[in-house]
Amino acid sequence: MKMKLSSCFHGCTASVSLPGFVICFIILPIPNLEPAQYTVIGPGHPVTAVVGEDIVLPCHLSPPMNAENMEVRWFRSHFSSVVHLYRKEKDQTEFQMSEYLGRTEFLKDGIRNGSVALRLRNVRPSDEGKYMCSFPSISFFQDALLELKVAVIGAAPLISVEGYQDGGIRVMCRSAGWYPEPEVFWRDLSGQCLPSLSETKLQGHNGLFEMRTSIIITETSNQNIFCYIRSTLLRQEKESAISIAGQLLSKLQCDHQHTHTCNWLKVRICLWQ
């Protein structure tokens, strides 16, 4: 006696003869194996660091999950511009950009809860900019953008008398060690802003700014003036002041060809910070 073997494929059947019974195969569709869905979360606002200090760049997974076996890459503008790479449960320092060697620490205390923050040591002006915290894999890629701003407060302004000019005294204000470029301005005793004669900025190899500004003090002007230098990012400022007795300005006797021969002892000048 001959029986049929039937195979069912989405409504199609095929049969073979077998003695004694009929077998029907049913093949069900296999669902797509998608990777675990998660989101990489950054701080959502710029992070500000002070030059010379350390800063932690936060990044975590949502929902929280163990990231010990994941690859975590911190990089700058390009995927290959590696700030720090964590892979196969180890820090892969051989892939780092040279300027970050020895300056980064991948914080693993919270990695089982999806926290993959990065500590950056001895912050420099060149560290300012955008960073990406990414989780690359063969089938899934997620990242978060973080913006790092860098700042530092420089030295208190130093005021000096430079010489005689245009019927008055030219006064110079200097201050170095600022980042980013600060605002510089003069004010009188009443708080009124005064126009400067000149303003110069110099940026050193370390990226820090030195600011220089000058003003002319005449007999008719307010002889109590203040030099302010302000960090717009840190919202802090430093100031110095100079006071010159107005009645003595008219007594200056200067040789325009040899201003160093002026008898500056006739001018009573007070400086304070």
Please give the full DSSP string across 59-114, using - where no structure is assigned: -EEES----TTS-EEEESSSTTSEEEEEETTEE-GGGS-GGGTTTEEE--TTGGGT
- State the pLDDT at residue 128: 97
Distance of CA 38 to the CA centre of its chain: 27
Calpha distance 153→208 (Å, rounded): 10
Amino acid at 152: V
Matching fold, domains 42-151 and 158-256+267-272: yes
Amino acid at 148: L
Give the DSSP letter string of 218-238: -TTS-SEEEEEEEETTTTEEE
Residue 29 burial (CB < 10 Å; 0-12/13-18/19+)? exposed
Per CATH, is 42-151 categorized as 2.60.40.10?
A: yes
The domain ranges of the chain are: 1-28, 42-151, 158-256+267-272
- State the pLDDT at residue 111: 94
Range from 11-20, 116-125, 152-161, 233-242 carrying the lowest mean pLDDT: 11-20
Q: What top-level class would CATH report for the domain 158-256+267-272? A: mainly beta
Asked whether the predicted pLDDT for residue 157 surpasses 60, the reply is yes
Tell me the per-residue pLDDT of 189-215, one tens digit each, with 9 for 90 and over: 888 899 999 999 999 999 999 999 999
24 - beta bridge partners? Answer: 6
